[in-house]
Structures are given as C-alpha cells and as structure tokens.
Amino acid sequence: MKKLLLTYLTIITCVYLQAQDTLPNFSVKNIGNNRIIVEWVNRFTDIRQISIQRSFDSLKNFKTILTVPDPTNPQNGYADTKADNDHMFYRLYILLDKGVFLFGSSRRPVWDTMTAYKKINGAAKPNAIIPSILDTASKGFGISNKPKVEGWVPSKFVFTNNGDGYVRINLPEGEDKKYGIKFYSFDDKFLFELKDIKERSFKLDKTDFYRSGWYKFELYDDGNLVEKNKFFIPKEF
C-alpha cells in the first residue's frame, strides 16, 4: 500500500510540474469569472525584469499591464481581471543582464479543465487539488514540505507607482524628524544620498538612476536606521 501511494505521489508530482511552463515559455489559462491566469517557472539566474503584455493582435499593439515586482521568484504568475475579453493575446518581455532581452511567444488563454473539474466537484479554491493531494501524501510518509519563501513587501516610504518611472518619497510627518536616504545599486554600490530632508512628500525622476532595474535604499531618522528595502524602476516600451 505504501509503495502504491508513493508511486501515485510521483505521478501526480510529475504531472503538476510538467504543467508549469519554464521561461521563456509560459501558460495562459481561463479559470472563469473573468479571470485569466498568466504563470511561469523561472530558471534564469541573471534575470532583471519580467513584464506581462496584452494585445488584441498576436503580433503588434502589445501594452504592458504589469511589471513583476520580483522577477527572480522561481515560480510566479498574475491574475488578469481587466481584459476586454477572454481571447486576447498575451506575451512576456524578459530582460536579462547586459541589456539582453527576449519575448515569449504570444498566446491566447486556454480553458483550465482542472478548474472546471473542481467546480463540478465543489472545490472552493482554484489550483488546490494537486497541492492538497501532495500535502496529504507527504504527511502520511513523514515528508516535510518546503518552507514558504516570504514575498517582497514594497516600502510605504520609498516606492515606485503606476509605471511612470518616478520614485515616490512619502515620509511620516514630524518637525523633530531629520530624515536621510541613501541609495544603492542592486549590487550594493553607493549612488547618492539625500540629507536633512525638509519635504515629507515628493518624487525623484528616473534619470537620477540612469536605467531601469532594481535599486536599494536605506532610510534614516536622525542617524538611526528606519528601513532597508528596494524598489523597481520599469523599462519603457
């Protein structure tokens, strides 16, 4: 019985992993209720940006609908709930080191038959059947699950917004506050510093950072570190 369950677990695991497309390939699924899921597996070690683009046409007029906050995640995706219809085309813009970039082939959504099966059988959550089987089987054999990787949480003080390329600064009020911010490249090279900031809400132009990509910062209050975080400046198309 144990051998049979292990075989079953192996088969289910293989099916689940094969269903995930590795970049530059990706999958586009229609799971109903006006939700289109774009998802992929990343094995690039030098990736710098992933942007999801959408168009009525398979070859042109693509517009970016999202630049992924952390493109280095090994597995990622996005639920598009604002498409004009369920048969538009999607593609991925992928930026690597040294300005190398590529596009995934444009794809239309396909109906997610697994989700349809779960709806018929009363399952509440999309994409929950196979993980639940894996969890149950692994617990039965004492196999520990992988620890969850915490996602990146954008700063509420220093951030980019709406893809306009500006870095927004929004600091807490207080006359006795003496804020300073140090900016670094993603490989920790010091760029510049803002000292004794008087304004509490303002923005920096993207030209201050030379090019698109990830940047790090350190926020200080009277010399005391308040926050270390990062932000992403998207590439224009």
Q: Which residues of the chain have pLDDT under 70?
A: 1-20, 113-151, 161-165, 236-237
CA angle 113, 126, 21 (to 5 degrees): 65
Q: Per residue in 70-97, pLDDT tens?
A: 888 888 888 898 898 989 999 999 999 8
pLDDT for the residue 16: 46
Domains of the chain, each with CATH number or no CATH: 2-140 (2.60.40.10), 158-233 (2.60.40.10)
pLDDT for the residue 193: 94
pLDDT for the residue 114: 58
SS3 203: strand
pLDDT for the residue 136: 42
**CA dist., res. 110 & res. 59, Å (int):** 19
| Closest CA relative to residue 165, chosen from 195, 197, 210, 100 | 210
**CA dist., res. 118 & res. 125, Å (int):** 8
CA distances to 18, 47, 181, 188 from 233, in Å? 33, 15, 17, 16
The amino acid that residue 158 corresponds to is: V
Q: Per residue in 162-184, pLDDT tens?
A: 556 688 899 988 878 899 999 99
pLDDT for the residue 78: 87
pLDDT for the residue 181: 96
| Closest CA relative to residue 89, chosen from 67, 62, 49, 51 | 62
Q: What is the pTM of this model?
A: 0.45
pLDDT for the residue 13: 45
